[in-house]
Amino acid sequence: MKNLLIVEYDLSETGGGETVAVKLANEFSRFKDSNTYLLSICTKTSKIPYEIDDNVKLVLWKTCNKKVLSTILLNTKRFNRFLNEKKISLVIFIGCVSSLLAMFIKNRGLRIISCDHSGLINQWSNKKTVLCKWIQARYCDHLIVLNERIKEEFERKFKCAGGKIVVIPNWFEKPTVDYKYEIDSKRIVSVGRLSKEKGYGLLLKAADIVYKSCPEWKWDIYGDGPMRRELEKKINERSLNHFLSLKGNVKNAADLLPGYAMLVLTSYREAMPLVILEAKSRKLPVISFDIRTGPAEMICNGTDGYLIEPFHVKQMAEKIIFLIKNSEERIQMSCKAGENLEEFSKEQVLLSWKKLLESI
């Protein structure tokens, strides 16, 4: 029986990486002849905002330091003891931060997979992040990336050997019911961690414009993070309290999407935002900046949503207002939203994972 370990830095946070870690653990725990452990290295609170299957052996560590590298160093001996005690044969690191532990693994017979969920070139100016990703690629047997463009970036910049970089997209959970689009909805939704890379400063500027034109509408934001207090303050300063609402973390936020008229993303960078797939499968039009990777692989501009010139706030606001005022356009986009999602289905993605795991 194989003992498999999935490692995430902090499962008390909400984000794409954390979601993927839990989903992989839940699915892998159903494989025959395997035990699946899910480790959170620096768990800031004991409340985990995810549903974790009973078959998953959840391990929460709380040895943390303000500096990420210090936290990793504090946990290296403990991590090696854990690998030996549980007789782990395969480790899957989620994200480059948790992957730093791979440098200190003493059991050289252990197989290591690392998953990148944020791309490379879109963070090339951040030298600390680039170094972290170089370590991530260096100390693993396989590096999982989300699309061919990111694979090419790693191979070109880090001279990774052929076959080391493997493209496996994230999957989305297909709705169990066939949702009907709520044409009478007057609510916009955004979902994501409240952090700078998600572009909430840009969102506030767009919201200013939209509110002045459509004050009867509402805009809800699901997620939490380090920018919460700052955003609350700015929402108050802009007198947007009755328009913008910070809803915090919720379990299964995707199940709330059918009550909304559209999804809006304002991120500076993404790799593959799952919320786009979740929204499209629930018939929502999606509006996003056309950043280097992510949205363009999932949105057909003008058919099921809009791709906006990066960080052009006025253009973003104008497209939101256009959809608000043109219900027929929203209906047409809703009808197209559920198309071309098969490559991101759970069945297809798990098939790719099983093929990789059987090869190592």
Q: What is the pLDDT of residues 189-232, one digit of tens each?
A: 999 989 999 999 999 999 999 999 999 999 999 999 999 999 99
HSE-up (13 A, CA, CB side) for residue 36:
20
Beta bridge partners of residue 245, listed in sequence order = 220
Q: What pLDDT shows up at residue 66?
A: 83
Q: Quick: pLDDT tens for 89-114.
A: 999 999 999 999 999 998 888 999 99
- CA 41/CA 59 separation, integer angstroms: 8
- CA 355/CA 360 separation, integer angstroms: 9
Which secondary structure element, helix H or strand E, spans residue 3, and what is its range? strand 2-8
52 and 230 Cβ atoms separated by less than 8 Å: no
- CA 358/CA 360 separation, integer angstroms: 6
Quote the distance between the C-alpha of residue 295 and its chain's center.
Answer: 12
In which band, very low, low, confident or very high, does the pLDDT at 253 lie, cut at 50, 70 and 90?
confident
In which band, very low, low, confident or very high, does the pLDDT at 45 lie, cut at 50, 70 and 90?
confident
Query: How do 286-289 and 305-308 pair as beta strands?
Result: parallel
Q: What φ, ψ does residue 356 adopt, rounded to 5°?
A: -65, -45
Beta bridge partners of residue 222, listed in sequence order = 191, 248
In which band, very low, low, confident or very high, does the pLDDT at 49 lie, cut at 50, 70 and 90?
confident
- Whether residue 47 has pLDDT greater than 70: yes
Q: What's the full length of the chain, in residues?
A: 360
192 and 265 Cβ atoms separated by less than 8 Å: yes
| Best CA proximity match to 285, nearest among 188, 215, 198, 200 | 188
CA distances (Å), 76 to each of 23, 25, 136, 142, 335, in order? 25, 22, 16, 21, 51
Which secondary structure element, helix H or strand E, spans residue 166, and what is its range? strand 165-167
- Whether residue 318 has pLDDT greater than 90: yes
pLDDT above 90 coverage of the chain, percent: 78
Select the more confidently predicted residue: 142 or 269: 142
Residues 6+ apart with CB under 8 A from 16: 117, 170, 271, 272, 273, 274
Q: Quick: pLDDT tens for 164-194.
A: 999 999 998 888 888 899 999 999 999 998 9
Lowest pLDDT segment from 6-10, 12-16, 37-41: 12-16
Question: What domains appear along the chain, each with residue ranges and CATH number?
Answer: 2-171+345-359 (3.40.50.2000), 187-342 (3.40.50.2000)
In which band, very low, low, confident or very high, does the pLDDT at 1 lie, cut at 50, 70 and 90?
low
Reading across the β-sheet that carries 262-265, which strands appear in turn? Answer: 244-248, 218-222, 187-191, 262-265, 286-289, 305-308
| Token representation of residue 294 | 């992510």
240 and 211 Cβ atoms separated by less than 8 Å: yes
pLDDT above 70 coverage of the chain, percent: 100
141 and 112 Cβ atoms separated by less than 8 Å: yes
| Best CA proximity match to 7, nearest among 27, 20, 21, 24 | 21
| Best CA proximity match to 169, nearest among 148, 150, 147 | 147
**Terminal C-alpha separation, the chain:** 15
